[in-house]
Amino acid sequence: MRIIKKLFVLLLLAFVSVLVACGSKGEESLKIGYFGNLPEAGDCLVQRNTIKLFVEKWNKEKTFGDVTVEYYEYDNTNNGAQDTEMSIKAAQKLINQDQVDIIISAQLSNIIQATGQLINDAEVIDIGLGLSATWMQQGWDYVYRTALNNDYQVPGMTAKMKELNQNDVALLYQNTDNCLTFRDTFKAEAAKSGLNIVADEMLPAEGGTGITGQVTKAINSNPDCIFITAMGGSFGTVVKQLRQSGYKGMIYLGQPLTTTEVDSIGSEEVNGVAMFSPYIAYNRVEDCKNEFCKNVLQAYFDKYGTCPQTDMIYKIWDAMLLIENAVKTAKSTDAKEIQAVIKTLKFQGCAGTMDFTRGSNECYFGAQAWVYTGQGVAGGPTLLEDWLKTDLSSKVKMTK
């Protein structure tokens, strides 16, 4: 009986708090929601900073006329890592309580995958920043991507390997949704272009220390080049160990190294590490040669005093540009109307023209090849083509 009384009180409390929580709503405003790893100072911080930068700018310059922009953010971590269940809860809260029009999901593909159905059913725009092909194959109308799908990233990479006569590839992968898809795509492409996979080893999750065995096996398989796909910020150690264990060949990456990692691994070790991406992160704003990207970095630097560590800045910047253009064109904050106009949009983004007119909810279809050169080497990362002409490339064994 006691417990029923307690329950009674709790229920009453719940009712009251819910009624209080849904007080006044309904002004004309554009609501943007975000969920990600809030305590983290990495990619998620860059995302939040950029969103805030844009929201402030929009409200100040009255970009959307009288419509004010509101921003809501929730943490989705459980024990320090982003978690699908917490993300689903955050998405529920954004949709039902805050009634947002647009949601920006953090960069992890499995989280976009987990929340996509929910957001799509609620007819709210979802902009994902992940690279995995999986969540684009679900046919969700409201889910968009402003990053490069790894389906478009891999063919260039395998073609380059073939061109440089690197036929034996050792594969190191981490077991996450994104990396697995990457690995599968890579294997399929490699089979098409006649590359041999000589080693296929799984790396432990972030923070794992058992990598020596895998690294040794990859090197002992005597490859021409090594391909690593792992969550950003967790595989600099693998690159370093490969080099320290005496591997002198080329290393291809699926995801970018952070600039901290590039610096601390050492310029000698990081030479010959290639990355296929439309854009790349720089230590200093002036290193960037692309005018558009340079302006992006400058704007971020002016506001926050640091240069972003990874290329996440370009992805989120493109996402914000998409919102700006879509809302302007639709002249409405209603998600349905915004969704209707997005497929007519074509505008300048960080990696050239962002083309949504193909109707696949994506905008980029090709990547460039970059090589990290480390600190101290002038100009930061260079294009692979330029790098091949310099004497830096002669220090790397192109084939075994």
CB of 334 to another protein, least distance (A): 15
Q: Which amino acid, one-letter code, is at 113?
A: Q
H helices of the chain, in order, are 2-21, 43-61, 84-92, 109-121, 150-163, 177-193, 212-220, 236-244, 259-265, 267-270, 291-304, 312-330, 335-342, 384-389
CB of 338 to another protein, least distance (A): 19
CB of 348 to another protein, least distance (A): 31
CB of 72 to another protein, least distance (A): 9
Q: Whose Cβ is closer to another protein: residue 118's or residue 388's?
A: 118
- 17 token code pair: 């708090």
Q: What are phi and psi of 332, to 5 degrees?
A: -155, 155
Q: Whose Cβ is closer to another protein: residue 236's or residue 349's?
A: 236
Please state the separation of Cα 321 from the chain's center in Å.
16
- 307 token code pair: 């240069």
CB of 233 to another protein, least distance (A): 5
CB of 265 to another protein, least distance (A): 5
Q: Whose Cβ is closer to another protein: residue 369's or residue 396's?
A: 396
- The dihedral built from the CA positions of residue 360, 291, 284 and 280, taken in this order, carries a sign that is positive
- 211 token code pair: 């990598």
User: By the 8 A CB rule, do 107 and 312 touch?
Assistant: yes
Q: Whose Cβ is closer to another protein: residue 7's or residue 383's?
A: 7
- Which DSSP symbol is given to 363? -
Q: Whose Cβ is closer to another protein: residue 245's or residue 344's?
A: 245
CB of 270 to another protein, least distance (A): 10
Q: Whose Cβ is closer to another protein: residue 11's or residue 191's?
A: 11
Q: Whose Cβ is closer to another protein: residue 93's or residue 294's?
A: 93
Q: Whose Cβ is closer to another protein: residue 59's or residue 295's?
A: 59
- The Cα-based distances of 128 to 99, 114, 132, 212, 391 in angstroms read 19, 12, 10, 34, 40
- The Cα-based distances of 267 to 240, 348, 359 in angstroms read 11, 33, 42
- 399 token code pair: 């084939």
CB of 243 to another protein, least distance (A): 10
* DSSP letters spanning 320-362: HHHHHHHHHHHTS--HHHHHHHHTT-EEEETTEEEE-TTSSS-
